[in-house]
C-alpha cells in the first residue's frame, strides 16, 4: 500500500478480516506484520481524535527534531521514525475465535507509517490454525 508517511495511521481491519474469511479458519492466531524499520502495527480506536492524540503523544515522547546519532552518523533525517516504530513494534497477533477476530467494537488494527517521506508498504497477514 502507498502511504504519505509522517505518522499516517491506516485502518487495516477490513483488509485483515477479508483475508481471514478467505482463509476459512475457525480458530487460531492471526499475525499482522509490517515490513520496515520505520513502520508499526498496533490496535486502537480508529477515529480522528484518538489518531491525533496518539500522533501528539509520540511527538512529545520522541520529537521529530532532536540530536539523534542515527541522523548524524548516516546523514539521515528519520531517526524519530525508527525510534517510534521500535517502541510500538512491527506486528500484532490477534486470536481467531469461531472464525472471527477477537477484536472489540472500538478496537481496530492500524498501521502507522512514521517515515518522513511517502513509502510503499508491505503487510503480511498469516493465519495459524
Q: Which residues bind Zn ion (CB under 5 A)?
A: 76, 78
CA 9/CA 56 separation, integer angstroms: 13
Cβ-based nearer residue to Zn ion, 9 or 119? 119
Cβ-based nearer residue to Zn ion, 3 or 78? 78
Minimum CB separation of residue 38 from Zn ion in Å reads 7
Helices (H), 24-78: 48-61, 69-74
Cβ-based nearer residue to Zn ion, 58 or 96? 58
Cell match 552518523: residue? 73
Q: Looking at beta carbons, which residue is closest to Zn ion?
A: 76
Minimum CB separation of residue 82 from Zn ion in Å reads 6
Amino acid at each position: 500500500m502507498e502511504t504519505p508517511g509522517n505518522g499516517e495511521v491506516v485502518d487495516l481491519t477490513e483488509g485483515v478480516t477479508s483475508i481471514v474469511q478467505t482463509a476459512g479458519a475457525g480458530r487460531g492466531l492471526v499475525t499482522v506484520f509490517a515490513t520496515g524499520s520505520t513502520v508499526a502495527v498496533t490496535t486502537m480506536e480508529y477515529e480522528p481524535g484518538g489518531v491525533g492524540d496518539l500522533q501528539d503523544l509520540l511527538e512529545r515522547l520522541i520529537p521529530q527534531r532532536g540530536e539523534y546519532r542515527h541522523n548524524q552518523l548516516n546523514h539521515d533525517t528519520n531517526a524519530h521514525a525508527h525510534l517510534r516504530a521500535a517502541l510500538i513494534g512491527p506486528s500484532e497477533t490477534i486470536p481467531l475465535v469461531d472464525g472471527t477476530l477477537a477484536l472489540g467494537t472500538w478496537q481496530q488494527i492500524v498501521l502507522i507509517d512514521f517515515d518522513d517521506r511517502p513509502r510503499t508498504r508491505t503487510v503480511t497477514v498469516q493465519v495459524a490454525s
